[in-house]
Amino acid sequence: MIKVQLADRVRSLPPYLFASIDKMKQEALSKGVDVIDLSIGDPDIPTPEHIVEAMKSAVEKPAHHRYPSYEGMLSYRDAVAQWYSRRFQVTLDPKTEVLSLIGSKEGIGHIPLAFVNPGDVVLVPSPGYPVYPVGTLFAGGESYIMPLEEANAFLPDFKAIPGDVLKRARLMFLNYPNNPTAAVAPESFYKEAIELAARYNIIICHDAAYSEVYYDGEKPMSFLEVEGAKDVGIEFHSLSKTYNMTGWRIGFAVGHKDVIAGLGKIKTNLDSGVFQAIQDAGIVALRTKESVLSGIRDIYQKRRDALCEGLKGIGIQIDKPKATFYLWAKVPSGFDSTTFAAHLLNKAGVLGTPGVGFGAPGEGYIRFALTQPVERIKEAVERIR
């Protein structure tokens, strides 16, 4: 019997946040608890029917049963470029400035491998998506944490980053609308980020997975809308949240052609691309009528209002988000984020995500996802009350 020893990079990993939460959930369910799960951002609304029908047709085509192209079908990449033109008035060359991804998580995790050498620095927002520091770790890089604090509207303070760190930095991850804080970034922030990146030769990797989940008609902007953005970075996007396609695993990266080419080189060596039938369905998704998407947003807005008003009514501090399907709530005094999450699960059967799981600056907060019907959300509030 061999002795199996994990590599140092794996042994140094923290437990993956959502795996830990799932374990808590399964333990509660095994005890017969009726758990109302507001923890993970996995839409409960089905994928729109026209996309499912497109997939049914596409999967029957024998041409799709073979290896796909590494960079993605040109027809899919062209649909992405057309979507960016319609939504953001941003012009992209589908041949050189668009790359298909097996979900944006895959691209985010892989991009440090293309540009980060051991000892290089990656600027990572915290609290934030755990894949940013994990991808950095796998590439041998060092994460420099940019705290996201309420006093600064949950935007990183670039002036607080030491000059020697900036000189060693190769990548900077940004994410707006933000997970987990639900913050939205103004154009002035993107301008500041672009100026910093140009001065220090840092590649900006903007995660825009939640740009289409917004409220009250206030559309978030794309990083690429800002002058100079395409000169310093790329934007990651996903069909997961916009079209309720989390399980389909399809997304894309767009922007600086040399950065896109570098990420593409990693993908060529590590995966074989996105199943072409899913890309066909993705083309149909990207052409979805606005009325379908506004209907989905209306559902989330009703849920947001129910949870915000309910939690405020029982004394939990919370700001109503302008985008994402997350609420970032302050933990009541007497708890930290982990003990409060455990308290809610044990006493109310309600599962939220402790803020510290997104990084140390998330301590003192808990994240709730709007992925349950209004009736269940109201029940969750009453149980917490």
State the architecture of 49-286 in CATH terms. 3-Layer(aba) Sandwich (3.40)
The pLDDT value recorded for residue 24 is 81
86 is written with which tokens? 């319609």
User: What is the edge-to-edge ordering of all strands in the sheet holding 169-175?
Assistant: 98-101, 251-255, 233-238, 203-207, 169-175, 121-126, 142-147
* pLDDT averaged per 10 residues, the chain (length 385): 93 77 86 92 96 98 94 97 98 98 98 97 97 96 98 98 98 98 98 98 98 97 98 98 97 98 96 96 98 97 98 93 97 94 94 94 97 97 96
Q: Which alpha helices (H) appear in the chain, and where do they start and end?
A: 8-11, 17-30, 49-59, 74-88, 104-115, 131-138, 163-168, 187-200, 229-232, 239-242, 257-270, 276-286, 290-313, 337-348, 374-384
- Per the CB < 8 A criterion, the answer to whether 102 and 116 are in contact is no
344 is written with which tokens? 């809610």
82 is written with which tokens? 């057309």
CA atoms within 13 A on the CB side of 293: 21
Q: Which among 112, 237, 105 is positioned nearest to 172, based on CA atoms? A: 112
Angle (CA) 123-96-89 rounded to 5° is 80
Round to whole Å and give the CA distance between 253 and 218. Answer: 24
The domain limits of the chain are 8-46+291-384, 49-286
Round to whole Å and give the CA distance between 246 and 16. Answer: 18
Buried/exposed code over 162-173 (b: 16+ C-beta within 10 A; e: otherwise): eeeebebbbbbb
Round to whole Å and give the CA distance between 164 and 182. Answer: 31
Q: Which among 169, 142, 255 is positioned nearest to 206, based on CA atoms? A: 255
pLDDT per residue as tens digits for the range 197-242: 999 999 999 999 999 999 999 999 999 999 999 999 999 999 999 9
CATH of region 8-46+291-384? 3.90.1150.10
| Number of H-type helices and E-type strands within the chain | 15, 12
Report how far apart, in Å, the C-alpha atoms of 314 and of each of 53, 257, 380, 384 are.
44, 51, 12, 8
256 is written with which tokens? 């600086």
Q: Which among 220, 166, 213, 168 is positioned nearest to 193, based on CA atoms? A: 166
CB atoms within 10 A of CB 27: 11
